[in-house]
Structure 1
């Protein structure tokens, strides 16, 4: 099932569902003719769309709204925060081309701070499916919730069949004692490749698809921290994303871990076709595995130096 098919089925089954877009119909091309007045295109006016969605939600509707992620989360941020978040309204934000999925677009269209922004909003829930199969398994629960929600929309088709989604729970793909990779969204594909490479090197490797970033599965993170190395992998700025979430959870539970963050550290990525973006920025499965192997080798040295210094 595709995103559009799921949304169509959901809207036809529930007349309270209203589909909205800010002139971004890529995900919902066929819905205007099906839903009629329950399909609303406000034009390139993300702030107006969010405000109107809040008004509809106050009158019992369930608005599912669409826009490019960068504009939905940044241009309309105040409206999302004040009209939707503070009021705790069931507006469902669908962000199109988040992270590396905006591949050929420059910094103005790159949403690589969206997780940080959205999870800081009162009452907002935040989700990042790994691919289309994961997306359609997660969205029914997300749309049925009475809370506001932001979802990084990922309609990439992969061969991986995900487990059913349990609200707020991560998907444990594999468990390992040497390395555990925590990731979400698009980079799950590359993490699978890295997993196989690392296992071929004789390592015990875990992989967790975080899926839900707010609420977050704290126990999954605490379990991952038992590995010798935890890797946070994300197409997001280092600040405020999964690396920050892991740090917050560990501090909350008074635990520590050896953590290697793989993210964008205060820089935007070079626009190109997606395979070239991943290669240039160092986020292919092979490059991820090489970074982890390299870190495991060099990270032994500081411990030796510290011991010698203490003596």
Structure 2
């Protein structure tokens, strides 16, 4: 099932659902003919769209709104904060081409601080599916939640079949004692590649698809820290405010420390190009990620850890 098919079925089954867009119909091209007046295009007016969605939510509607992630989170930030967050209204924000998925676009269209700013708003929940299968498994619960939500929309197909989704819970793909990669969204694809490479080198490797970044699965983070020598946070987002920061907050809350290798964008927007070239240029291919982890292991961990890895 695709995102549009899921949204169509949901809206036809529930007249409370309103589909809105700020002239960004890529995900919902067929909805106007199906929903009629329950499809609203406000034009390139993200702030107006959020204000209108808040009004509809106050009238017992569930608006699912669409715009480019950069504009949905930054241009309309104050409206999301004031109209949705403070009022705790069930408007669902579908952010299109977040992170590296905005590959051919420049800095103005790159949403690589969206997780940070959205999770900072009280009541707003934040989610980042790994691919389209993950997306359609996550959305029904997110749409049914009474809280406002921001979703990093990802309709790429990876061929991986994900487990059923539970709000606030991560998906443990595999466990490992030497290193565990925590990731979300698009980078899940590259993490799978990196895991295979590291395993071929003799390492015991774990992988966790975080899925929900607010609320975050503290239990899986704490368990990973207790069972794995190195934690890698992997994200197509700025270092500040994303998963690395989330992990740090959880560890400090529980008065714990851990060896953590963050792989993220460090206060620098990426050079526009086709996605494979963006990943290669920024060092985010599965192969480059694995090489970086291997390098860190060699430099920072005790020889006994490396011996254990290669003897497994």
Aligned to 1:34: 34
How far apart, in 1, do the equivalents of 2:203 and 2:136 lie?
Answer: 33
How far apart, in 1, do the equivalents of 2:103 and 2:17 lie?
Answer: 31
C-alpha distance after superposition, 1:93-149 (max 9, x if no partner): 000000000000000000000000000001000000000000000000000001000
Aligned to 2:261: 260
How many residues end up aligned between the 2 structures? 301
C-alpha distance after superposition, 1:33-55 (max 9, x if no partner): 00000000000000000000000
Structure 2: gaps (5+ residues): 303-312
Q: CA deviation at 1:298?
A: 1.1
Q: Which runs of 4+ in 1 moved over 6 A?
A: none
Structure 1: gaps (5+ residues): 302-311
How far apart, in 2, do the equivalents of 1:96 and 1:212 lie?
Answer: 17
**Is 1:102 aligned to residue 102 of structure 2?**
yes
Aligned to 1:89: 89
What is the TM-score with the length of structure 1 in the denominator?
0.96
RMSD over equivalenced CA pairs, Å: 0.6
What is the TM-score with the length of structure 2 in the denominator?
0.96
Q: CA deviation at 1:267?
A: 0.2
C-alpha distance after superposition, 1:232-253 (max 9, x if no partner): 0000000000000000000001
Aligned to 1:157: 157
**Is 1:119 aligned to residue 119 of structure 2?**
yes
How far apart, in 2, do the equivalents of 1:155 and 1:73 lie?
Answer: 19
What secondary structure is seen at the aligned counterpart in 1 of 2:52? helix
Aligned to 1:5: 5
What secondary structure is seen at the aligned counterpart in 1 of 2:202? coil
Q: CA deviation at 1:300?
A: 3.8
Aligned to 1:297: 298
